[in-house]
Structure 1
Amino acid sequence: MGHFSVGLCVVNALSSRLTAEVRCGGVRRVQEHARGVALAPPAAVGPARTSGTTVAFWPDAEIFETTRCSFAVLAERFRQIAFLNLGLEISLTDERRAAGTMEVALMWGGSREERLRSFANSRLTREGGTHVDGFHDGVAAAVTAWARGRGLLTAQDAGPGADRIGEGLTAVVSVKLDPPRPH
């Protein structure tokens, strides 16, 4: 099968477009596909200083009812895969255009669990989303900066992660997207 193996076949068959890049042995190879068909054989396009694989794909709107992906669901799945495969590094980047405003109400109490409700355009988002990920990251960054500013953490100390910040947190996160997207 070479560098482009069976794992890509399923994703490729369900994509309107797919680009696979493999960096191995000092060479960077790329192959483009459209609706499951390779547009050309894998081509060496230059040197590679690292090794790894990058796959970019666009779900086929003729197959799926929706082609929107949940960043939160993908991030959680990738965390699981990376945990189960020692040494595997996965990077996930949300390149969608951000638009709208976010409002947050929060307080910490004595509970050990996090209670969070999130909304997008006044609709409950049970599975979270990028607005919830951003909220967690933002709160963790703000608490870390506050602790460093008061000498409670040094520059070398890792700040408390979003998982620790959430202990006892009750929050409502509401984002208004402009323009509203149909569901």
Structure 2
Amino acid sequence: MTESGNPSQPTNVNEYTSSHIQVFEGHEAVRRRPGMYIGSAGEHGLHQLVYEVVSYATDEHLAGHADAIDVTITPEGGIRVADNGRGLPVEVEEPTGKSAVELELTELSFGSKPHTGYGVSGGLSGLGLCVVNALSSRLTVEVHRDGHRWTQKYEKGTPVTPLTRNEETSEHGTTITFLPDADIFETTRYSFATLSERLQELAFLNGGLAVSLTDERPERPVRYHHTDGLRDYVARLNPYPPSLVHSPAIAFESENEDETIFVQVAMQWNTWSQGEFRSFANSTRTREGGAHEEGFRTALTDVVNDYARRQRHVSADDEDITAEAVHEGLTAVVSVKLAHPVFEGATRTRLSNPEAEAYVQEVVSKHLTDWLDHHQNEAASIIRHILNAPTGHGRR
């Protein structure tokens, strides 16, 4: 088993080419029924456009080719997303005669990226850029790749200029600028606070990725770069140090032997709240939980009971500590990155992969047991806190 590392390894830029794009249908279906692709034509769907483009850039980070994403709200209310990844492929794809960039932006395709560790990061599995283009009144793509800067413009999903090769450059990456179509969306005004919260979340979930947000409506720059990942995230959710049962937060990560599941966990008990649990699959918040949550909760309750009995905090005649007591005052973040995620529903808010449940349970059982055994003072404080919980196994 491989542990504590990048979930994927860099691949050669030539492995990402137009041959990886599979065409299904045109963009008109998206304009007719936007809710099927982004959830709604309201504020949620409007912000989902940004997340889809950012998800493409995050994929580049997971593949080992990008470490920065810059998001800008333009003065006219559009969005510009720039990354320093490989850049969209620009070669012409036969027999269509279209560039790979154009295919990516105009045809509904699935799995457009090659398998480089983790194929998606919470977007529409290859549909995202096409959907954004179809729902924008204007979109411009700028690619730095193959020694040149390339540009192309679109209106309502249709190209209005050819892909043009411009000056030579040694840079690499993709910049997409779009203006959401006011004829489709109920509102086209972006919320800085909403975007800021989600982008900071992505920075927490993807250690080493620097994410910036700038609002040019007036200018309001924000930059997120969290080197301690989920432990930093838990610290943000637990803002009152005097209430902490232990510090710092417990944090661990592990990748399975096949390199198809990467698990990250951070957790910390406090006395000021009932607790908060957040789970993610491929950087998307799974608000309805699913397999990874079940694996975490099962392992957590089992480990706490086992440790409490081994250390004689609970006698052999006592009933098990309840799951409700274990979770009292617990702030936890669980993130899984999967090569082949299976979500329930179009909104992708519940993870179904049974292998995720089994592996998360295995990882939590191993690492949390090890942490408790090596931090006996903190572990004793945690057990006392749990046993004194209002929902707990008696008061001691």
TM-score, scaled to structure 2: 0.24
Structure with greater strand share of residues = 1
Q: Which has the larger radius of gyration?
A: 2
Structure with greater helix share of residues = 2
Q: Per chain length, whose mean CA-contact separation is higher, i.e. which structure has more relative contact order (CA < 8 Å, sep 6+)?
A: 1
TM-score, scaled to structure 1: 0.47
